[in-house]
Amino acid sequence: MMNANVAKLLNEQINKELYSAYLYLEFANHFDRAGLDGFANWYKIQAREEQDHAMLFYQYLQDNGQPVTLEAIEKPAAAPDCHRKVLLAALKHEELVTSLIHALYKAASDAGDYRTMRFLDWFIEEQGEEEQNANALINKMELFGGDAKGGLYLLNQELAGRSYSAPSR
């Protein structure tokens, strides 16, 4: 039988991941409106990955005979009007998600729930990558000259090349 607090946090994580998807869709929306389709592509793929994460938590609960409780998804925070600030907001959000995953891992560890700890290993690694990617994007934008138009165009071209792949775990 799964510890009630661990099951509750796993359920909440479905919601947090779907909120992340919603937030990144809002960021994509911001960039689409600005005509930066490469940036929009980047965040649309990011949103799909977050939906995949939500499904991994959903399936894990199902596979372990735990009820899944779906709650309302919060309205996403509006994207900041400056492009660079959107990138910074994405990094801040990933840092928050990392802290949630770590808290979940600690709860599983406290409950002696080794199966859930192993399940979460992938997410701990994934969060490291997500933070790295968000940081790299900020650094690239600075290298390309911040919000300056020529640099934005070039970075937009690069981000248009990102393609979606389902999580392998």
Chain residues binding ligand FEO by CB under 6 A are: 17, 20, 50, 53, 94, 97, 130
Closest distance between ligand FEO and the C-beta of residue 154, in Å? Answer: 25
The residue (of 40 and 56) whose beta carbon lies closer to ligand FEO is 56
Q: ∠ CA 19-99-71 to the nearest 5 degrees?
A: 30
The residue (of 26 and 130) whose beta carbon lies closer to ligand FEO is 130
Closest distance between ligand FEO and the C-beta of residue 113, in Å? Answer: 20
User: Which residue's C-beta sits nearest to ligand FEO?
Assistant: 53
Gap between the Cα atoms of 105 and 113, Å rounded: 9
Closest distance between ligand FEO and the C-beta of residue 141, in Å? Answer: 19
As to burial, measured by CB atoms within 10 angstroms (0-12 exposed, 13-18 middle, 19+ buried), residue 55 is middle
Which one-letter DSSP state was computed for residue 82?
S
Gap between the Cα atoms of 49 and 126, Å rounded: 11
The residue (of 108 and 152) whose beta carbon lies closer to ligand FEO is 108
